[in-house]
């Protein structure tokens, strides 16, 4: 503490003693309210009446109880009984003096009785061991009433009254007013005075003073008499008496009065007396009153003390002052009500307005009072300097209560207020001096705390609480209701201010807490010249609320404290503020928020130098404003030049101030100053401090500090430190001042959000009437700990406005220049004020903020198919970070998986060579393994047969279908009667079926009706189920090879079922032969190997005894031989010559000739293609004429191509018609071999000519034998119907061909192509995968797995045993190969679509490089198409080599054909 403050107690004591001495030695008028002349004299500066810092003397202890004669029941009270037992009083007794009742009995005052002693100071005392019982309507009247008993019962309507019967007050007290102004008497509270001296206020004037403060716990003093307005006659009311009740059990339903006596308008009311009640228990709801009396000026309230351990009912207790008729708004001061058990003091004036104080003097230290309640317009003063008001619990001010500390005119002291809770509702605390408050809860409801610091005499005030909450809620009936709710809601101590509550201090003020500071009511305010808020967990400045750091004089705009505007140096505390957060007047801050976690601003935060230090987050909401606008310097370093005419230039700071210009006069604007990279200066004005019209610059707003940056700043409203504008200046001149320059906004932050419509401003102010605009201020973002690299997060999200523009001039003047907006130098990779990442394609490897430091990345380091990508923290070095344009490309070269493979092995050409070599090597290994596995199954050579016969394997493979042993052939065909062919191709849409009409060849051996039934059953069994065809249709779409396999499987099952039916299930009832019916013989179902042609053979049973049966061959002519197959690749046309047919024809043609003919015919039929029958059958016709018929003619037989049995769906079967040639047969020599020696060529030619003439006869024979069909020649072949299905285009690639030989070489090439095909498929998948996985799945499943199936099918075909099986599997392999073309086409389409889309999005800059970029999308699919076409041709050759091992069957020379 300063030295002059340490001398103040001695000075105070000296002045006090001097004043007392003067008062005692002067006449009465000089002491108080004497003659009018004395009253109008100048006030004595050392008078007690002017300087009220004194302690009224305590009264002396009460005199001992006098030895009085013992009262008797009968004599003194006219009662019955005595005091040793029971004394009953039933009548009114008027006493003429004091009476003292003692004894061991009881006192009973029955209804109608009364004890009265209306003499002032008269005593009625009863001290009994029994009880005191006062009945209804009883009156006890005296100056002092003291009742002591075990039990006291006071019935309702009982009045114990000491009103206006007080004796003399204690000596050395000043409760009786002096002078003739009719003032009220004082006791517990001062008496009112309606007289106000010159130079004083109503608050400085009172009547009788308060006394007996030290005895308020057990009061025993009489009230004081009121003053009079006349010297001759005393009009003052007499004070209240004394009333004591002591009991173990107290029942109190009556009225206990110790009020001051009333007076007329010529005197003041007396003060209330004393009431002291002590009991163990207390019941009843009576009334207790020690109020002041009414008069010209009301008397002060008395003192009531209640010491009851257990109170069961509420008792009305009044200690208010009396009413003042001379000044109705200034009743007497309230007295005191002390409750000893909770140790609480209550001061209530019963809602009577007063300007007279109730004095609170020294508070006890041990034990502390629990609660002090000041309410109902009571006005309480703590007059003693350097006082401490300390309670253990609650200090509450309610309903217009006023609590003042110190003396109005002498704010030279410090006061302490210590409590658990300070509750204020519609009340006021006034402090004259400094206040050190330490509470846990402060509740302010429409209340005001005003601190008059008296300049720099005393120190700063400090309000210390856990939470400071300023909020505006709904109306509560009582403050206790609100308090109860808040106690329930908040489990921490807090300070509340509600409904426009204000804390105002004319000296520096610190507000400290540990919880929440919440100003939410409109008009809530905390203001001081220097204001520091510290240690709170959270601060909320609600809408309409204000935190103000300087006091603004509304009359002239001046602010306090004064600032040093001429110093260019930066105050160190701006950058490095102290850590203790204590209020220090030497610092530059006018408003500081220190060590607060979260700060939410919805209202106004205003100051000259605003500093938020060591906070966690600051949020300025939409309606919130942090402003230092116009609170800087009026002059300053950059002040504008001011001319005598009033024209001035704008202030300068970050930008130069605009020059003023009017009528040729020019006033230069202020210059720039300060450091843009770390600004800390106030803005400058447009003139000087002595000029009232000058505008001021902006102040300083600092958020954070160099060492403790602000982690989070979010601005949705306004943060501004603009220069003042002339429209705000007080001026009446026609030429206004220039604008002030913008101030400083210095932000030490980590992250910042500037929302849309928010403003961060340090703009210059506007000039008026030709004066210059203010220059812009300085805004600096000092980012701390900017994370770099992978830890980088954006430090700022800026969507609002950042303004540092110069102010405009409203006239011919010039605008100010723009200020500066700067940021801390950014680390590598970041640039700009807000340290953003360098743009894509640039890098920054130096520290700085300029965008020019972000250099372009070298394009040579960017691979094709790559684009630059942003990385956290920006690119700090080269090469710049990039990513491939798609996830299908792989870093670092953005190659596809295929390109990775290719370039791993040296590039496309070297990879192709290596792959080709590997394929050839694998193919050689595969061929060797195939030869080892297959062996000699496919090699031609003789093979032994039964009975030593030899079959020449040089014949075609299909000949093996016709080879039968020569032996037993006659037996097999001995009983054969007729072969009946099934109609239809045995498909799901057109299954096999037999005609119901039996042919004439079997009419002799069958019953027609039974035959029809048999045909119905056969046709039913031959038909397919609907689901079988559905499965076939689905498989045709998904995988045609599987559809073919499914069809063949169902055909085999159908043939097996028909055979089982005919062999074992059918009873053969259609046959006439009993033996056949009995043995289930005579019928046989057979089919060609391709299962497309079926026939039913009829045999004799052996018991017919018909010599004409079976018919001989010539009897069967013309005979039809129908081809199997349909001319497709999988089922070529072929003539199936089984043992029955061979045996029959051997009757006319040698078997060797017939076998050779069938082999040659089948070789020719292989080349016939379905869909092109008209062309491909011509070589067959020619072959029949040149090779077959000349050899058959020797034996008198001829064959012709014909069609048979056209179905309703248009399907007709093709085959041969065999018939005899008219004329003698040509002799031929049979040498036991199949070769024929033609003896006479000319004869053969003649026979052929004759055969042409017999065609018509054959047709007639066909009609006679009811054979539906016709002969096909070169002319009729043109009329043959040949339908082409959707698979016909594939037949152009895949069809049966002639053998080419070189079987091993063909197999080797097929192996190479098969491996190459599989390799290209894998490469294609890699290429598609580089497009997308969807493309892979699309190609893989359209058709499902079609592109993968050729490889296993080919391996299976190459490694199969036997020519026949190998040929069949090779055909399936070829079918899968040609089917996979659909998948390849899909791959081609996917590649094309990808190429088109990728070239639009990412044009390729690399040259064509064999498929290693998008331009090679076609390469692998095209290669696959070529490979599959080549494979198709090679497989055709391979199948031809397997099926036709004797190439002589294709010889054009008949002699070579027959001689082979």
- Residue 175, sorted as left (phi over 0), alpha (psi -120 to 50) or beta, turns out to be alpha
What confidence tier does 1413 reach under pLDDT thresholds 50, 70, 90?
low
pLDDT digits (tens, 9 = 90+) for 222-255: 999 999 998 888 899 999 999 999 999 999 999 9
3-state SS, residue 387: coil
Q: Report the C-alpha gap between 908 and 899 in whole angstroms.
A: 9
Which range has the worst mean pLDDT, 356-365, 726-735, 1084-1093?
Answer: 726-735
Query: Using alpha carbons only, what angle is made at residue 878 by residues 874 and 879, rounded to the nearest 5 degrees?
Result: 100
Which range has the worst mean pLDDT, 31-45, 521-535, 675-689, 965-979?
Answer: 31-45
Which range has the worst mean pLDDT, 404-408, 546-550, 881-885, 1263-1267?
Answer: 1263-1267
What confidence tier does 499 reach under pLDDT thresholds 50, 70, 90?
low
What confidence tier does 566 reach under pLDDT thresholds 50, 70, 90?
confident
- Sorted by sequence, the CB contacts under 8 Å of residue 1095 that are 6+ apart come out as 979, 980, 981, 982, 1085, 1086, 1087, 1122
Mean pLDDT of all residues in 355-372: 90
Which range has the worst mean pLDDT, 483-497, 742-756, 1343-1357?
Answer: 483-497
> How crowded is residue 854: how many other Cβ atoms within 10 Å of its Cβ?
23
What pLDDT does residue 436 have? 92
What pLDDT does residue 312 have? 85
What pLDDT does residue 223 have? 95
pLDDT digits (tens, 9 = 90+) for 94-127: 998 899 999 999 999 999 899 999 999 999 999 9
- Sorted by sequence, the CB contacts under 8 Å of residue 1403 that are 6+ apart come out as none
Q: Is the pLDDT reported for residue 1291 higher than 90?
A: no
What pLDDT does residue 492 have? 36
Q: Report the C-alpha gap between 351 and 338 in whole angstroms.
A: 19
Q: Report the C-alpha gap between 875 and 881 in whole angstroms.
A: 7
Torsion 76-80-86-91 (CA) sign: negative
In 286-369, beta strands by DSSP E: 287-289, 303-311, 316-318, 336-339, 344-348, 358-359
**Per-residue b or e along 316-327, where b marks 16 or more CB atoms closer than 10 Å to that residue's CB:** ebbbbbbbbbbb
Q: Report the C-alpha gap between 91 and 1432 in whole angstroms.
A: 147
Mean pLDDT of all residues in 705-723: 93
Q: Which of 1138, 1165, 1176 is nearest to 1154 (CA)?
A: 1138
- Strand 159-161 and strand 413-425: the pairing is unpaired
pLDDT digits (tens, 9 = 90+) for 153-166: 999 999 999 999 99
DSSP 1105-1166: --TT-SPPHHHH-SEEEEPBS-SSSSS--B----HHHHHHHTTTS-HHHHHHHHHHHHHHHT
Query: Using alpha carbons only, what angle is made at residue 188 by residues 184 and 193, rounded to the nearest 5 degrees?
Result: 25
Percent of the chain whose pLDDT exceeds 90: 44
pLDDT digits (tens, 9 = 90+) for 656-676: 999 988 888 888 899 999 999
- Average pLDDT of the chain? 83
Q: Report the C-alpha gap between 509 and 583 in whole angstroms.
A: 7
Mean pLDDT of all residues in 378-388: 88
Which range has the worst mean pLDDT, 38-42, 145-149, 1173-1177, 1421-1425?
Answer: 38-42
- pTM for the structure as a whole: 0.65
Mean pLDDT of all residues in 14-25: 36
Q: Is the pLDDT reported for residue 2 higher than 80?
A: no
Mean pLDDT of all residues in 167-188: 89
- For residues 655 and 673, the answer to whether their CB atoms sit within 8 Å is no
Residue 76 backbone dihedrals phi, psi, to 5 degrees: -85, -35
Q: Which of 749, 842, 843 is nearest to 795 (CA)?
A: 749
Count how many Cα atoms sit within 13 Å of the Cα of residue 471 in the half-sphere of its side chain: 18
Mean pLDDT of all residues in 362-378: 90
What confidence tier does 352 reach under pLDDT thresholds 50, 70, 90?
very high
Q: Which residue has the higher pLDDT, 472 or 45?
A: 472
Q: Report the C-alpha gap between 290 and 315 in whole angstroms.
A: 14
pLDDT digits (tens, 9 = 90+) for 253-307: 999 999 999 998 899 999 999 999 999 999 999 999 999 999 999 999 999 999 9
Q: Is the pLDDT reported for residue 1009 higher than 80?
A: yes
Percent of the chain whose pLDDT exceeds 70: 85
What confidence tier does 1257 reach under pLDDT thresholds 50, 70, 90?
low
Q: Report the C-alpha gap between 461 and 528 in whole angstroms.
A: 10
Q: Which residue has the higher pLDDT, 1227 or 1054?
A: 1054
Q: What is the DSSP letter of 947?
A: G
Q: Which residue has the tokens 């029971």?
A: 86
- For residues 1431 and 1313, the answer to whether their CB atoms sit within 8 Å is yes
pLDDT digits (tens, 9 = 90+) for 1052-1067: 999 999 999 999 889 8
Q: Is the pLDDT reported for residue 457 higher than 50?
A: yes
3-state per-residue secondary structure call for 422-483: EEEECCEEEEEEEEEEEEEEEEEECCEEEEECCCCCCCCEEEECCCEEECCCCCCCCHHHHH
Q: Report the C-alpha gap between 979 and 1073 in whole angstroms.
A: 17
Q: What is the DSSP letter of 1062?
A: I
Q: Report the C-alpha gap between 410 and 454 in whole angstroms.
A: 8
What pLDDT does residue 794 have? 87
Q: Which two tokens stand for residue 84?
A: 């040793």
Q: Is the pLDDT reported for residue 728 higher than 60?
A: no
What confidence tier does 938 reach under pLDDT thresholds 50, 70, 90?
very low
Q: Which of 308, 82, 49, 21 is nearest to 201 (CA)?
A: 49
Q: Report the C-alpha gap between 1326 and 895 in whole angstroms.
A: 11
Query: Using alpha carbons only, what angle is made at residue 415 by residues 412 and 416, rounded to the nearest 5 degrees?
Result: 165
Which range has the worst mean pLDDT, 33-37, 409-413, 993-997?
Answer: 33-37
User: Residue 150 class from Cβ within 10 Å (0-12 exposed, 13-18 middle, 19+ buried)?
Assistant: middle
Q: Is the pLDDT reported for residue 474 higher than 60?
A: no
Strands of the 1269-1271 sheet, one edge to the other: 1119-1122, 1213-1220, 1197-1204, 1269-1271
What pLDDT does residue 43 have? 44
Which range has the worst mean pLDDT, 93-97, 489-493, 1120-1124, 1200-1204?
Answer: 489-493
Mean pLDDT of all residues in 631-651: 87
Q: What is the DSSP letter of 324?
A: B
Q: Is the pLDDT reported for residue 473 higher than 50?
A: no
Beta partners for 318?
A: 289
> How crowded is residue 106: how many other Cβ atoms within 10 Å of its Cβ?
22
pLDDT digits (tens, 9 = 90+) for 1013-1022: 999 999 999 9
Mean pLDDT of all residues in 1316-1321: 90
DSSP 11-26: HHHHHHHHHHHHHHHS
What confidence tier does 773 reach under pLDDT thresholds 50, 70, 90?
very high
What pLDDT does residue 819 have? 95
What confidence tier does 775 reach under pLDDT thresholds 50, 70, 90?
very high
Query: Using alpha carbons only, what angle is made at residue 800 by residues 799 and 803, rounded to the nearest 5 degrees?
Result: 135
What pLDDT does residue 1256 have? 54
Q: Which two tokens stand for residue 142?
A: 């005296």
Q: Report the C-alpha gap between 590 and 724 in whole angstroms.
A: 18
Q: Which of 289, 254, 257 is nearest to 136 (CA)?
A: 254
Q: Which two tokens stand for residue 1406?
A: 């690399």
pLDDT digits (tens, 9 = 90+) for 43-58: 444 343 343 444 454 5
């Amino acid at each position: 503490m300063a030295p002059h403050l340490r001398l103040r107690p001695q000075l105070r004591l000296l002045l006090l003693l001097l004043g007392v001495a003067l008062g005692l030695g002067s006449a009465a008028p000089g002491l108080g309210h004497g003659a009018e002349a004395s009253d109008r004299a100048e006030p004595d500066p050392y008078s007690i009446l002017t300087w009220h810092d004194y302690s009224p003397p305590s009264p002396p202890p009460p005199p001992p109880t006098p030895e009085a004669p013992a009262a008797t029941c009968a004599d003194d009270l006219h009662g019955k009984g005595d005091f040793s037992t029971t004394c009953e009083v039933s009548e009114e007794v008027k006493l003429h003096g004091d009476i003292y009742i003692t004894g061991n009995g009881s006192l009973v005052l029955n209804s109608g009785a009364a004890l009265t002693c209306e003499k002032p100071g008269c005593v009625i005392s009863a001290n009994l061991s029994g009880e005191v019982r006062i009945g209804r309507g009883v009156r006890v009247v005296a100056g002092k009433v003291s009742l002591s008993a075990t039990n006291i019962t006071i019935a309702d309507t009982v009045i114990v009254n000491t009103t206006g019967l007080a004796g003399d007050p204690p000596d050395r007290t000043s409760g009786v007013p002096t002078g003739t102004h009719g003032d009220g008497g004082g006791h517990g509270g001062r008496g009112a005075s309606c007289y106000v001296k010159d130079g004083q206020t109503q608050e400085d004037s009172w009547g009788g003073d308060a006394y007996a403060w030290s005895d308020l716990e057990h009061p025993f003093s009489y009230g004081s008499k009121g003053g009079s307005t006349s010297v001759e006659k005393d009009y003052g009311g007499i004070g209240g008496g004394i009333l004591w009740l002591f009991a173990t059990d107290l029942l109190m339903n009556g009225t206990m009065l110790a009020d001051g006596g009333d007076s007329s308008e010529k005197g003041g009311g007396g003060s209330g007396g004393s009431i002291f009640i002590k009991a163990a228990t207390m019941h009843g709801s009576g009334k207790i009153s020690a109020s002041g009396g009414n008069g010209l000026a009301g008397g002060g309230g008395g003192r009531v003390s209640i010491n009851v351990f257990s109170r069961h009912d509420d008792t009305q207790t009044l200690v208010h002052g009396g009413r003042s008729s001379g000044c109705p708004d200034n009743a007497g001061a309230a007295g005191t009500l002390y409750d000893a058990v909770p140790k609480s003091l209550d001061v209530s004036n019963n809602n009577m307005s007063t300007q007279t104080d109730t004095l609170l003097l020294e508070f006890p230290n041990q034990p502390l009072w629990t609660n002090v309640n000041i309410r109902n317009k009571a006005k309480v003063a703590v007059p003693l300097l350097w006082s401490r008001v300390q309670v253990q619990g609650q200090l509450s001010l309610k309903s217009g209560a006023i609590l003042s500390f110190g003396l109005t005119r002498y704010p030279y002291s410090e006061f302490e207020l210590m409590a658990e809770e300070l509750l204020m509702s519609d009340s006021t605390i006034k402090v004259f001096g400094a206040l050190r408050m330490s509470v846990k809860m402060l509740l302010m409801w429409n209340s005001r705390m005003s601190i008059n610091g008296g300049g720099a005499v005393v120190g700063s005030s400090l309000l210390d609480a856990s939470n400071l909450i300023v909020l505006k809620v709904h109306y509560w009936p009582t403050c206790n209701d609100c308090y109860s709710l808040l106690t329930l809601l908040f489990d921490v101590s807090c300070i509340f201010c509600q409904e426009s509550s204000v804390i105002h201090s004319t000296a520096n003020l610190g507000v400290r807490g540990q919880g929440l500071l919440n100003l939410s009511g409109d008009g809530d305010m905390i203001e001081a010249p220097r204001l520091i808020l510290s240690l709170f967990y959270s601060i909320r400045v609600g809408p309409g609320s204000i935190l103000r750091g300087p006091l603004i004089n509304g009359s002239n705009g001046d602010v306090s404290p004064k600032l040093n505007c001429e110093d260019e140096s930066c105050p160190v505390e701006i950058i490095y503020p102290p850590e203790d957060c204590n209020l220090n007047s030497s610092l530059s801050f006018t408003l500081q928020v220190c060590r607060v976690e979260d700060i939410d601003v919805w209202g106004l935060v205003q100051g000259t130098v605003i500093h938020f230090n060591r906070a966690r987050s600051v949020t300025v909401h939409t309606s919130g404003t942090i402003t230092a606008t116009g609170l800087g310097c009026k002059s300053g370093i950059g002040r504008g030049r001011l001319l005598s005419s009033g024209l001035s230039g704008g202030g300068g700071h970050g930008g130069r101030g605009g020059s003023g210009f009017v009528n040729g006069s020019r006033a230069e604007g202020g210059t720039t100053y300060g450091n843009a990279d770390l600004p800390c200066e106030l803005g400058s004005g447009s003139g000087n401090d002595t000029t009232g019209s000058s505008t001021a610059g902006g102040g300083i707003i600092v958020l954070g500090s160099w060492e403790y940056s602000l982690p989070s700043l979010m601005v949705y409203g306004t943060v501004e430190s603009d220069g003042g504008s002339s429209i705000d200046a007080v001026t009446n001149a026609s030429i206004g001042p220039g604008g002030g320059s913008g101030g400083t906004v210095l932000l030490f932050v980590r992250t910042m959000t500037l929302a849309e419509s928010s403003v961060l401003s340090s703009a210059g102010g506007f000039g008026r009437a030709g004066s210059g605009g203010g220059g812009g201020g300085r805004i600096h973002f000092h980012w701390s700990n900017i994370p770099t690299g992978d830890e980088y997060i954006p430090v700022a999200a800026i969507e609002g406005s950042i303004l540092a523009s110069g102010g405009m001039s409203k006239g011919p003047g010039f605008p100010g220049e723009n200020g500066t907006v700067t940021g801390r130098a950014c680390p590598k990779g970041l640039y700009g004020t807000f340290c953003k990442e360098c743009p894509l394609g640039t890098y920054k490897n130096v520290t700085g903020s300029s965008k020019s430091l972000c250099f372009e990345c070298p394009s040579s380091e960017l691979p094709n198919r790559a684009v630059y990508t942003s990385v956290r923290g920006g690119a700090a070095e080269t090469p710049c970070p990039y990513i491939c344009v798609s996830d299908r490309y792989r870093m670092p070269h953005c190659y596809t998986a295929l390109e990775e493979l290719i370039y791993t092995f040296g590039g496309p050409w070297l990879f192709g060579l290596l792959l080709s070599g590997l394929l050839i090597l694998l193919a050689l290994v595969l061929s060797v393994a195939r030869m080892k596995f297959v062996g000699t199954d496919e090699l031609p050579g003789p093979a032994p047969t039964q009975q030593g016969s030899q079959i020449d394997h040089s014949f075609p493979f299909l000949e093996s279908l016709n080879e039968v042993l020569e032996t037993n052939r006659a037996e097999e065909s001995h009983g054969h009667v007729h072969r009946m062919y099934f109609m239809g191709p045995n498909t799901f849409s057109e299954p096999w079926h037999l005609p119901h009409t039996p042919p004439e060849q079997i009419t002799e051996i069958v019953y027609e009706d039974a035959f029809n039934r048999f045909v119905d059953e056969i046709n039913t069994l031959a038909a397919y189920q609907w689901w079988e065809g559905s499965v076939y249709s689905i498989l045709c779409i998904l995988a045609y090879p599987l559809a073919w396999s499914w069809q063949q499987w169902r055909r085999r099952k159908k043939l097996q079922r028909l055979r089982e039916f005919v062999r074992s299930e059918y009873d053969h009832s259609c046959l006439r032969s009993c033996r056949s019916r009995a043995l289930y013989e005579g019928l046989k179902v057979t089919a060609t190997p391709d299962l497309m042609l079926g026939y039913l053979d009829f045999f004799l049973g052996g018991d017919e005894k018909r010599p004409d049966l079976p018919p001989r061959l010539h009897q069967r002519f013309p005979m039809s031989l129908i081809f199997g197959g349909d001319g497709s690749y999988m089922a070529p046309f072929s003539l199936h010559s089984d043992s029955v047919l061979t045996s029959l024809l051997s009757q006319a043609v040698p078997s060797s000739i017939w076998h050779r003919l069938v082999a040659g015919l089948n070789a020719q039929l292989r080349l016939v293609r379905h869909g092109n029958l008209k062309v491909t059958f011509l070589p067959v016709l020619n072959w029949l004429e040149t090779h077959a018929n000349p050899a058959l003619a020797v034996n008198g037989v001829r064959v012709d191509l014909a069609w048979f049995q056209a179905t309703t769906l248009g399907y007709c079967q093709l085959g041969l018609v065999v018939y005899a040639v008219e004329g003698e047969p040509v002799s031929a020599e049979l040498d036991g071999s199949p070769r024929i020696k033609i003896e006479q060529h000319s004869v053969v030619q003649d026979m052929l000519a004759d055969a042409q003439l017999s065609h018509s006869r054959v047709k007639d024979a066909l009609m006679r034998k009811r054979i539906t069909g016709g002969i096909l020649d070169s002319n009729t072949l043109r009329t043959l119907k040949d339908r082409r299905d959707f698979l016909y285009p594939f037949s152009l690639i895949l069809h049966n061909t002639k053998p080419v030989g070189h079987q091993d070489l063909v197999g080797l090439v097929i192996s190479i192509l098969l491996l190459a095909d599989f390799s290209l498929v894998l490469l294609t998948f890699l290429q598609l995968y580089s497009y997308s996985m969807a493309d892979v799945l699309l190609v893989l499943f359209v058709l499902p797995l079609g592109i993968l199936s050729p490889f296993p099918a080919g391996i299976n075909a190459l490694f199969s045993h036997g020519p026949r099986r190998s040929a069949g599997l090779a055909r399936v392999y070829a079918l899968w190969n040609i089917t996979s073309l659909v998948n390849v086409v899909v791959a081609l389409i996917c590649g094309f679509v990808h190429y088109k889309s990728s070239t639009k999005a990412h044009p390729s800059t690399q040259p064509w490089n064999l498929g290693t970029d998008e331009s090679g999308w076609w390469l692998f699919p095209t290669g696959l198409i070529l490979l599959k076409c080549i494979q198709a041709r090679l497989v055709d050759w391979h199948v031809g080599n397997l099926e036709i091992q004797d190439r002589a069957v294709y010889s054009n020379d008949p002699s070579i054909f027959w001689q082979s």
